[in-house]
């Protein structure tokens, strides 16, 4: 899809610019569809400067052809694209964390240290639920492995109650 006509379909503004920057890295022929969301005055000039097309009307249909897609908007506008990206909103179910009064981090996930200790002594968290960066499988697996190792170490060492000094 490098240098082809690409679409970004994003219904929330928070990560829109980040997504545009990432895909712009692959192709300068970008169209952003917000599906009814009105983009703020801060972001609009940035898109204009980089000749990123902006469509704020709701999408009516996406017509699929073998090579291309046509995105039809409710106002009759349409745009032909070669490919595109949907920007999902990843939202963990944190009701249980709220019930347990666990402290949250800057991203609204469960706050932990490197070894998964939460603000509650006997509760650990790892994976997407405590991430401070991007939700990715390899990050979740890596942090899960570290937290599991830490828990086993704590349990094992608790059997050896001795003072070093
Ligand atoms: C649509 C989509 C596409 C993605 N694409 C990619 C990709 O291409 N590459 C990539 O690296 N990552 C991708 N990710 C992110 C990746 O899936 C996550 O980062 C990863 O799965 C996080 O692993 P986890 O173990 O922390 O959480 P999860 O895999 O979400 O596992 C949490 C588990 O806990 C269970 N659970 C939740 N609440 C409870 C409860 N109260 N009691 C018992 N069980 C519970 C859930 O059912 C689930 O099985 C994608 C995610 C989504 C949603």
Tens-digit pLDDT profile for residues 125-151: 999 999 888 889 999 999 999 999 999
pLDDT at 90 over 80: no
Percentage of the chain modeled with pLDDT above 90: 78
pLDDT, tens only, 93-106 = 899 999 999 999 99
Q: Which atom of ligand 1 is nearest to the CA of 126?
A: 26
Residue whose structure tokens are 């050896």 = 160
The confidence band for 88, taking pLDDT boundaries of 50, 70 and 90, is: confident
Tell me, in angstroms, the distance from the centre of ligand 1 to residue 82's CA: 29
∠ CA 115-118-124, rounded to 5°: 65
- Supply φ then ψ for residue 4, to 5 degrees: -100, 175
pLDDT value, residue 11: 82
Domains and CATH numbers, the chain: 6-87 (3.50.50.60), 95-158 (3.50.50.60)
Tell me, in angstroms, the distance from the centre of ligand 1 to residue 143's CA: 13
∠ CA 154-159-161, rounded to 5°: 95
Percentage of the chain modeled with pLDDT above 70: 98
Take residue 49 and report the two structure tokens written for it: 């400067």
Q: Is 56 in the pocket of ligand 1 (CB under 6 A)?
A: no
Q: What is the mean pLDDT of the chain?
A: 92
Per-residue b/e over 129-160, b at no fewer than 16 CB within 10 Å? bbbeeeeeeebbeebeeebeebeeeeeeeeee
Distance separating alpha carbons of residues 76 and 86, to the nearest angstrom? 21
Ligand 1, atom 35, residue with closest C-alpha = 93
Q: Is 83 in the pocket of ligand 1 (CB under 6 A)?
A: no
Global confidence as pTM: 0.76
pLDDT value, residue 134: 81
Take residue 62 and report the two structure tokens written for it: 């996406």
Q: Is 128 in the pocket of ligand 1 (CB under 6 A)?
A: yes
Tell me, in angstroms, the distance from the centre of ligand 1 to residue 128's CA: 7
Ligand 1, atom 8, residue with closest C-alpha = 136
């Amino acid at each position: 899809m490098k240098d082809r006509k690409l679409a970004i379909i994003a219904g929330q503004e928070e990560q829109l610019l980040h997504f545009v920057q990432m895909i712009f890295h692959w192709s300068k022929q970008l169209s952003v569809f917000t599906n009814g969301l009105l983009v703020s005055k801060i972001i609009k000039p940035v898109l204009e400067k980089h000749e990123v097309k902006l469509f704020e009307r709701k999408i009516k249909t996406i017509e699929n052809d073998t090579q291309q897609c046509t995105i039809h908007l409710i106002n009759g506008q349409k745009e032909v694209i070669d490919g595109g990206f949907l920007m999902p909103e990843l939202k963990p179910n944190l009701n249980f964390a709220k019930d347990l009064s666990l402290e949250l981090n800057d991203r609204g996930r469960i706050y932990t240290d490197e070894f998964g200790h939460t603000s509650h002594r006997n509760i650990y968290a790892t994976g997407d639920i405590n991430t401070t960066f991007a939700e990715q499988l390899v990050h979740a697996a890596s942090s899960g492995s570290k937290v599991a190792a830490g828990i086993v170490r704590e349990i094992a060492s608790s059997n050896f109650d001795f003072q070093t000094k």
